[in-house]
Amino acid sequence: MKFLSQIQPVSLREQVVEQVRTAIIEGRLRPNDHITEANLTEQLGVSRTPVREALILLEREGLVVFAPNRGAFVRVFDEADVEDIFSMRTALENFAAELLLPHVTADDLAQLDSIINQQEDAIRRKDFNNVRSLDMAFHRYLVHNNNNQLLTRNWEEIVAQIAALLYMRADAMPDYDEMLAVRDHRAILDGYRAHNLTAVHEANRRINNRVAGECKRALAINNY
């Protein structure tokens, strides 16, 4: 009986996407930085074809913009972008709650609780890269457990933008209280435990409104 599937090689394009995406999200490539194909091919040791394809995919993710006759640049977010991104996140995550809440299981609640505990531990250890990964993992669990591919695809399309904004916030606010996210997640989890859709919706709206405000302040601090 066959119980394993063949391992698929990761394409050069996907490897380039991952490296450039991470560099943008973590601020090693800054807003409005010029990304040249020649520089990427030299640093990564690949041909121009996967680099060109990767930049097109990153444009679709909202991390890169192309200027006519000038090439690719790291996207500069403004306040309207922040508002759009977080209002969309609220809508998608509230829709996810509507789908999941009638079917949420004790195992789902335990998995979510475990993610929160891991996040809290990472904060104590000051492992902030893991903190943000676990933050996204909490929300990803709620979205992906709905078996709604359109919802998942739309949510995933804005995840990289959210991650970039949260790293920007961390850069602008070095004393930011990361435990706020733990309390946010516990509020959402409490709503799921109580099977209270209104409570989940209100928590999602309140949290995203607050984080959007923080990201707007970070834009002002960084003069973007």
pLDDT tens, 116-131? 999 999 999 999 889 9
Q: Are residues 68 and 87 in the same domain?
A: no
Radius of gyration of the chain (CA): 19
The structure tokens listed for 7 are 């391992």
Has residue 7 been placed in a domain? no
Average pLDDT over residues 178-201: 97
Scanning the structure block, which residue is given the tokens 């200027």?
67
Task: Tell me if 1 is assigned to some domain.
Answer: no
Contact 136, 122 (CB under 8 A): no
Looking at the fold, whether 114 and 218 belong to one and the same domain comes out as yes
Q: Is residue 5 part of a domain?
A: no
Average pLDDT over residues 198-206: 98
Per-residue pLDDT of 14-60, as tens digits, reads 999 999 999 998 889 999 999 999 999 999 998 899 999 999 999 99
Same domain, 65 and 114: no
Tell me which residue range forms the domain holding 84: 79-222
- Structure tokens given for 12: 């050069």
Whether residue 172 is found in the same domain as residue 155: yes
**Distance (Å) of CA 136 to CA 70, 155, 204:** 34, 11, 14
Domain count, the chain: 2
Average pLDDT over residues 136-151: 95
**Confidence (pTM):** 0.87
What's the CA gap between 87 and 54, in Å, rounded?
A: 27
Assess whether 59 and 85 both reside in one domain. Answer: no
From CA 38, how far away is CA 18, in angstroms rounded? 18
Q: Tell me, what CATH number does 201's domain have?
A: 1.20.120.530
Task: Write the pLDDT tens digit of every residue in 68-109.
Answer: 989 999 999 999 999 999 999 999 999 999 999 999 999 999
Query: Which among 162, 172, 178, 176 is positioned nearest to 121, based on CA atoms?
Result: 178
Compute CA 151 distance to the chain's CA centroid, rounded to the nearest angstrom. 15
Do 49 and 133 lie in a common domain?
no
Domain shared by 151 and 56, yes or no: no
